[in-house]
């Protein structure tokens, strides 16, 4: 991490050798460890994921319940869109869990989530028609792992900064891994959004194997001074995450968790619902007026033509107010959008990882990486220690028991 000092303020950016005397935040260390954690997870869990996929195929399972909360729930929501046709995930939070399947997956970083313990114990003690219990966890010596029929392990490092940052990435990748293995178990060509996986699974292994490197590339490219310098001037930021595909709802929520202590958050998802500080309203309801916006507008966009028109409208109003406008999106889309006709202060921060341009789950996973980098740089720009309780005092979703 290389420090960039301007006007008596030090901005720590990713990439490049660490300068003598500079410091690296706990959050930055954990973020930079994610590629290895992801590689260890995909390699270490292969046997268990294959076993689970074969079980689902053998028993003709079409619906799997997933019990999760917080970041774990966001990971499961991404996983819903990695499943092949004919298999669905029903993601529910523990207090409201209603059984709908004979297979239940508990997603818990610690393997001992206090919210999920009553549900886990109740299912485990069933005498008749007890469901298959699967635990996806980062803690193999936990109660949920010990009591499960199948354990899907993740191998993220112990996290001290933002709760479940690395494990959330690894959990989402586990669902993606399961989707790929189900394609092989079905022994047929399986279609995912924008992707067809061949019978022999060669493409699937190439796909999963490239994920850690792509995550590493993101931290190496997006976290350089470009993003750091952009957020340095945006002490009060409104982040608009405008995401067109349903899969990105989990991304929007996850990014909101990461930055809401350092920026006011508005996320719009799927063109139908608006999420703002936990409040849901129909998209037709009045979108927050520009007068409510502050110094900057960040937009994650999927490239849909209708969305681009709405974003362009925001951009035009922002320009009248003299706001900066920044588009964070896939290069082939965001670079082709001519916002220069609306906005003078415009820059594009493109996403990379061309291998995943056409696979929605992986795009969502890498979008979260961008959100992490953004949260880090926003925190430092505000003079906070990234990932500390000072930032997360109001973000208590994945508590130590989750």
Asked if 117 and 76 count as a contact pair (C-beta separation under 8 A), the reply is: no
What confidence score (pLDDT) does residue 389 get? 43
The whole-angstrom separation of Cα 350 and Cα 330 is 5
- Predicted confidence at residue 19, as pLDDT, reads 29
- Residue 347: CB partners within 8 Å, gap ≥ 6? 226, 230, 326, 327
Q: In this structure, what are the phi and psi dihedrals at residue 290, rounded to the nearest 5 degrees?
A: -60, -30
Q: Are 377 and 384 in contact (CB under 8 A)?
A: no
Q: Mind listing the pLDDT tens digit for each residue in 323-371?
A: 666 555 544 444 444 444 444 444 444 444 445 555 777 777 777 776 6
261 and 236 in contact (C-beta within 8 Å)?
Answer: no
CA distances from 35 to 157, 185, 369, 398 (A): 11, 27, 11, 22
Q: Which residue has the tokens 């916006």?
A: 293
Token readout for 56 is: 């689902």
Sequential DSSP letters for 112-138: --TTTHHHHHHHHT-SSSPPEEEEEES
Helix (H) or strand (E) holding 254: helix 248-259
Quote the CA–CA distance of 21 and 19 in Å, as a whole number: 6
pLDDT at 402: 34
What percentage of the chain's residues is helix, strand, coil (to nearest 5)?
A: 45, 20, 35
Coil, helix or strand at residue 263: coil
In the chain the domains, ranked by start, together with CATH numbers, are: 2-15+217-392 (3.40.50.10490), 34-209 (3.40.50.10490)
Q: What is the pLDDT of residue 122?
A: 95
- pLDDT, tens digit, for every residue of 163-175? 457 888 999 999 9
pLDDT tens, N- to C-terminus, the chain (402 residues) = 333 333 333 333 333 333 233 456 777 778 888 899 999 999 999 999 999 999 999 999 999 999 998 888 888 988 888 888 889 999 999 988 999 999 999 999 899 999 999 999 999 999 889 999 999 999 999 999 999 999 999 999 877 765 457 888 999 999 999 988 887 777 655 555 545 555 555 556 677 778 888 787 767 655 444 455 555 555 555 555 555 455 555 666 666 666 655 555 555 444 433 333 333 333 333 445 555 555 555 555 554 555 556 566 666 766 676 666 655 554 444 444 444 444 444 444 444 444 555 577 777 777 777 667 766 766 666 666 665 544 333 322 222 233
pTM score? 0.76
Query: How many angstroms separate the Cα of 93 from the Cα of each of 21, 119, 144, 223?
Result: 45, 10, 16, 33
CA distances from residue 259 to 277, 308, 372, 377, 380 in whole angstroms, order as listed:
12, 24, 8, 10, 12
pLDDT for position 285: 35
Q: Quick one: pLDDT at residue 119?
A: 96
């Amino acid at each position: 991490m290389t420090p960039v000092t301007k006007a008596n303020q030090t901005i720590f950016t990713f990439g490049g050798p660490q300068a003598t005397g500079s410091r690296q935040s706990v959050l930055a260390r954990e973020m930079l460890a994610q590629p290895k954690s992801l590689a260890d997870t995909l390699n270490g869990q292969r046997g268990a994921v294959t076993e689970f996929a074969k079980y689902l195929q053998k028993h003709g399972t079409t619906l799997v319940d997933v019990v999760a909360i917080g970041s774990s729930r966001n990971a499961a929501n991404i996983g819903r869109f990695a499943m092949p046709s004919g298999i669905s995930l029903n993601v529910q939070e523990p207090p409201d869990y209603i059984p709908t399947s004979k297979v239940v997956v508990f997603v818990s970083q610690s393997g001992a989530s206090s919210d999920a313990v009553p549900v886990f114990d109740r299912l485990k003690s069933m005498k008749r028609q007890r469901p298959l219990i699967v635990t996806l966890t980062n803690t193999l010596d936990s109660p949920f792992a010990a009591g499960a029929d199948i354990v899907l392990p993740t191998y993220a490092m112990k996290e001290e900064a933002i709760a479940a940052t690395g494990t959330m990435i690894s959990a989402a990748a586990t669902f993606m891994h399961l989707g790929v293995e189900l394609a092989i178990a079905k022994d047929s060509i399986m279609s995912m959004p924008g992707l067809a996986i061949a019978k022999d699974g060669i493409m699937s292994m190439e796909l999963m194997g490239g994920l850690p490197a792509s995550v590493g590339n993101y931290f190496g490219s997006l976290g350089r001074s470009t993003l750091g310098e952009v957020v340095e001037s945006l002490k009060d930021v409104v982040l608009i995450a405008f995401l067109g595909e349903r899969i990105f709802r989990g991304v929007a929520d996850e990014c909101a968790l990461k930055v809401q202590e350092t920026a006011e958050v508005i996320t719009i998802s799927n063109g139908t619902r608006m999420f703002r500080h936990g409040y849901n309203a129909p998209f037709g309801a009045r979108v927050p007026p520009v007068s409510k916006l502050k110094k900057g507008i960040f937009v994650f966009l999927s490239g849909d033509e209708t969305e681009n028109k709405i974003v362009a409208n925001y951009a035009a109003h922002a320009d009248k107010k003299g706001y900066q406008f920044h588009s964070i999106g896939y290069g082939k889309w965001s670079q082709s959008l001519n916002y220069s006709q609306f906005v003078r202060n415009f820059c594009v921060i493109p996403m990379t990882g061309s291998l995943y341009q056409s696979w929605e789950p992986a795009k969502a996973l890498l979008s979260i990486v961008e959100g992490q980098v953004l949260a880090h740089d926003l925190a430092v720009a505000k003079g906070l220690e990234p990932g500390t309780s000072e930032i997360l005092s109001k973000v208590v979703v994945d508590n130590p028991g989750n």
